[in-house]
Chain A
Amino acid sequence: EVQLVESGEGLVQPGGSLRLSCAASGFTFSSYGMHWVRQAPGKGLEYVSAISGDGHSTYYADSLRGRFTISRDNSKNTVYLQMGSLRPEDMAVYFCARARIVGSNELDYWGQGTLVTVSS
């Protein structure tokens, strides 16, 4: 059974940093691209970032480039999202998700989400 479990939920002050983790199981992790998508309270989904299965290619929403860094450790079946210079508008539930096939952007399995609160 495919499972994605996010962690790293927390309250951080504006300008602070936080690292989210997403532990995967039930599939050959290194064969799949992984994505982060966020959802602010009462809002729609927003693409954040993606990383290829081998970790060599990374993608970011233009508005987040330079502040967020995606990475993965295939030996630990885990993908990370390092977030810096956090702003109140970054407050959201962050989901990790698996791309259905190589090179695709449709997401067939999602984690339960982890809440990031940015407030002083």
Chain B
Amino acid sequence: QSVLTQPPSVSGAPGQRVTISCTGSSSNIGAGYGVHWYQQVPGTAPKLLIYGNTNRPSGVPDRFSGSKSGTSASLAITGLQAEDEADYHCQSYDRGLRSSVFGGGTQLTVL
């Protein structure tokens, strides 16, 4: 069981908006540690999408945005495109475990 909880799958039609949640606890997200998001096309390495809850690395489209509230975080994707079909992973730090932790990953299907 992952320390951070994500829905196994989400889906949306092209052009729509989807959100992916990442639920933690007072030991990680709720303790103020930053949440980061990665996009992974199956068979390839993850790619950093959002860091520090809301920041996008250079080159990441502004269709991708992150937010955080309390013990949860969310990744929103607007104007869904076929190329967005991938797995999405959240990451934070857990002070009880004294290590980085990941969510179980969410598979995004573009209908």
Q: Could you tell me which A residues sit within 8 Å of B by CB distance?
A: 35, 37, 43-47, 50, 59-62, 95, 97, 100, 104-108, 110-113
What are the residues of chain A within 8 A of B89 when measuring CB–CB? 44-45
Q: Which chain B residues border A107 with CB–CB below 8 Å?
A: 36, 38, 46, 48, 91
A44 touches B102 (CB 8 A): yes
Q: Known contacts A112-B45, A113-B45: does B100 contact A100 (CB below 8 Å)?
A: no
A51 to chain B, nearest CB (A): 13
B97 to chain A, nearest CB (A): 6
Taking the complex as formed, is B24 at the interface, i.e. its CB lies under 8 A from any CB of chain A?
A: no
B residues contacting A by CB (< 8 A) are 2, 34, 36, 38, 44-48, 51-52, 57, 89, 91, 93, 97-105
Closest to B97 in A: A62
- With A100-B48, A111-B45, A113-B45 as given contacts, are A106 and B104 in contact (CB-CB < 8 Å)? no
Hey, which chain A residues are within 8 Å of B38, CB to CB?
45, 107
B99 touches A60 (CB 8 A): yes
* Complex CA–CA separation, A10 to B51 (angstroms): 33
> Closest Cβ of chain A: how far from B10's Cβ, in Å?
15
Complex contacts, B34 vs chain A, CB 8 Å: 106
B51 near A44: Cβ-Cβ < 8 Å: no
CA A48 – CA B38 in complex, angstroms? 17
A37 to B48, CA, bound (A): 14
User: Which chain A residues border B97 with CB–CB below 8 Å?
Assistant: 61-62
Q: Which residue of B lies closest to A64 (CB)?
A: B99
- Asked whether, in the complex, the Cβ of B99 is within 8 Å of the Cβ of A110, the reply is no
CA–CA, A97 to B91, complex, Å?
14
Residues of B contacting A110 in the complex (Cβ-Cβ under 8 angstroms): 45-47
**Chain B residues closer than 8 Å to A106, beta-carbon distance:** 34, 36, 48, 51-52, 91
Given contacts A95-B45, A95-B46, A105-B91, whether A100 and B103 have CB atoms under 8 Å apart is no
A108 touches B57 (CB 8 A): yes
